[in-house]
Amino acid sequence: MSDFWATVNRVITGAAAYITDERGRVLLVDPNYREHWSFPGGIIDAGEHPAQACAREVAEEVGLVVEVGRLLTVAWVEGVPNVPYPLVNFMFDCGEVASGTLITLQTEELDDYGFFTVEEAGRLLAGHAYQRLLAARAARESGGMAYLPPAEDRLVGQ
C-alpha cells in the first residue's frame, strides 16, 4: 500500500473569502510575507473543511465574523515560489459589508487592507488571483461556480 501512496498527487489547500462593500468593491489584504495583495483567507488546517477555514481565516485576518456562503470558485495554481506543491484554492461568497465596518487587521501577517474596484485590484493581485476575482464576481452575479485550471499563458506571480 505504501507504494501506492508514494505516487499520489500532493496539494496544499486554501480557502478565501469574496467580500464586497456596498459599492461592489472587493476587500483585499496586503500580506507582509509576499509581494502581491490577496483575499482574506489562508491554508486549510488539518481537521477543517474549506468553509470552516474560510470563516476562521477571515476572523483572524480582518476581525469579521461572516456567514460563509456558496462556493464561487475552485482554482488549481502551480508554480508559486517557495511552495512545494500545487495549490487548490476554494473561494466562498461571504457577502457584503459596509465600507465603514471596523476591520481589525492581523498585524503579524498583514500590513494593510482596503476595498478596491476590479480595475484597482488588477494592479494589486497576482495574475492567478486576479483571474479568481473575475471568476468569483461572475459566479456571484450568475449564481454559478467556476473551476480555474492552471493556465499556460498566465504566469503565477504576475
Q: What is the pLDDT of residue 155?
A: 42
Q: What is the pLDDT of residue 153?
A: 41
What SS3 state is found at 28?
strand
In whole angstroms, what is the distance from residue 60 CA to residue 37 CA? 17
Q: What is the pLDDT of residue 5?
A: 86
Q: What is the pLDDT of residue 1?
A: 59
**Domain definitions of the chain by residue range:** 9-148
Q: What is the pLDDT of residue 6?
A: 87
Of 1.10.3720.10, 3.90.79.10, 1.10.1040.50, 2.60.40.2130, the CATH number of 9-148 is 3.90.79.10
Q: What is the pLDDT of residue 83?
A: 85
> What's the predicted TM-score (pTM) here?
0.91
- DSSP 8-state assignment for residue 37: B
Mean pLDDT (10-residue bins), the chain, 158 residues? 84 97 98 94 97 98 98 93 90 96 95 97 95 97 95 45
Segment 138-145 long-range contacts (CB within 8 Å, at least 24 positions apart): 139/72, 139/73, 139/93, 140/18, 140/72, 140/93, 145/70, 145/71, 145/72, 145/73, 145/74
